[in-house]
């Protein structure tokens, strides 16, 4: 059960401690955290008082239950007599894709909400797999216009895994459901008798039911169904999965080194170079390595050490629902989202700027004393 008094106390601490530095958006964060914690109660999570004091999103999973998580993307299956877009026999579906380009700020805080990182997606896929793998879908409901008649009823879930920031649901009959978080999407897990609390009904994009669980996809921005042997179309354009057991750091370093003039922050955020890193881990990894995000790749000392350390940092956090780089769950980050506050090492004020990430601009945080290299241009 959720200790609601501890939750309330934790939120009060967050508002008092961070309200002056993050502005009014902390109120929206607190509202979301309450809803999220209530949702966790639906799937059997226990919220520790220590976690609530630290931040309202640190959870201690109950080993007897898979925990609910967020994951972006939902997909659905067409009728059994469909054929694949490639025209090959043996794949009983037509591939459909639905993408939402605009984000409505469903919870009132989306503009400041970071893109989920690889560890968040890994955690979500693991919980979904524990709940659904080996189970038969007893009912499905797809609320995406192009997939409104799709039906997965009767299919068995063979497994659910992540690759970088992507989630792949595999069903018997060589069918794969591909989802992606982006900014807004979420998968919630509920027991059949529980009320759904992930948002209003109009935000639901897909529902997958088994005898034991209901997996409900809210605000899923991308929906795609494909033949399992076509998964390379999704993951083939990505770099190595940072959380794969056999990730080849040397390959990642070689990929980064092919563009020596490119800013290291931009390169590490490029999913075609390495799949899974996001702004939090790149920011913290560069701080620990002592270079700014704008440092050219050619000027980064011991590139292999940077990638290895950042990878290990994410791997250490993936199963515990936190994204700490400091070793302290109460004060998780050195520089990320700490603009204007004192550096934990030297006392200098953490700075904020913008960095290129492909064709986009991303937030950047750095310590001007602890990190060498150029600043924003």
**Which residues are tagged catalytic?**
116-117, 165, 362
Letter string b/e over residues 181-214, b meaning 16 or more CB atoms within 10 A of that residue's CB: bbbbbbbbbbeeeeebebbeeebbbbbbbbeebb
Contact (Cβ atoms closer than 8 angstroms) between residue 335 and residue 281: no
Q: Which of 190, 186, 159 is nearest to 72 (CA)?
A: 186
The two structure tokens encoding residue 295? 């440092």
How far apart CA 133 and CA 94 sit, in angstroms, is 23
Q: Dump the DSSP string for 235-261.
A: HTTS--BTT-TT--HHHHHHHHHT-TT
Q: In sequence order, what are the residues at sequence separation of 6 or more whose Cβ sits closer than 8 angstroms to the Cβ of residue 62?
A: 44, 45, 46
Q: Dump the DSSP string for 61-112.
A: --TTSPPP-----------TT---TT--TT------EEE------TTS-GGG
Q: Dump the DSSP string for 332-351.
A: --SSTT-TTSBPTTT-PBPE
The two structure tokens encoding residue 247? 């990730």
């Amino acid at each position: 059960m959720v200790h609601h008094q501890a939750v309330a106390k934790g939120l009060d601490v967050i508002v008092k401690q961070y309200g002056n530095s993050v502005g009014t958006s902390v109120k929206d964060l607190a509202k979301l955290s309450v809803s999220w914690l209530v949702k966790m109660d639906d799937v059997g999570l226990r919220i520790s008082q220590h976690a609530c004091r630290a931040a309202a999103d640190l959870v201690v999973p109950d080993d007897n239950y898979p925990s609910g998580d967020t994951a972006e993307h939902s997909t659905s299956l067409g009728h059994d007599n469909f054929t694949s877009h490639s025209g090959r026999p043996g794949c009983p579906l037509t591939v459909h894709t639905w993408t939402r380009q605009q984000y409505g700020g469903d919870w009132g805080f989306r503009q400041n909400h970071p893109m989920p990182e690889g560890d968040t997606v890994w955690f979500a896929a693991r919980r979904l797999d524990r709940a659904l793998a080996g189970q038969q879908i007893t009912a499905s409901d797809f609320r995406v216009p192009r997939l409104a008649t799709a039906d997965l009823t009767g299919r068995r879930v063979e497994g659910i895994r992540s690759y970088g920031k992507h989630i792949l649901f595999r069903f018997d009959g060589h069918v794969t459901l591909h989802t992606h978080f982006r900014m807004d999407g979420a998968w919630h897990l509920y027991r059949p008798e529980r009320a759904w609390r992930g948002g209003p009904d109009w935000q639901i994009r897909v529902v997958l039911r088994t005898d034991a669980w209901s997996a409900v996809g809210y605000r899923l921005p991308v929906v795609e169904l494909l033949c399992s042997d076509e998964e390379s179309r999704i993951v083939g354009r990505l770099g190595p999965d940072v959380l794969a057991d056999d990730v080849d750091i040397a390959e990642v370093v070689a990929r980064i080194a092919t563009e020596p003039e490119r800013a290291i922050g931009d390169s590490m955020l490029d999913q075609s170079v390495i799949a899974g890193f996001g702004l939090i881990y790149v920011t913290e990894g560069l701080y620990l390595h002592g270079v700014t995000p704008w440092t050219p790749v050619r000027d980064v000392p011991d590139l292999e050490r940077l990638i290895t350390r950042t990878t290990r940092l994410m791997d250490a956090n993936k199963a515990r629902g936190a994204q700490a780089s400091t070793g302290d769950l109460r004060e998780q980050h050195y520089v990320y989202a700490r603009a204007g506050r004192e550096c934990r090492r030297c006392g200098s004020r953490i700075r904020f700027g913008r960095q290129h990430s492909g064709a986009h601009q991303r937030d950047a945080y750095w310590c001007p004393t602890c990190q060498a290299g150029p600043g924003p241009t």
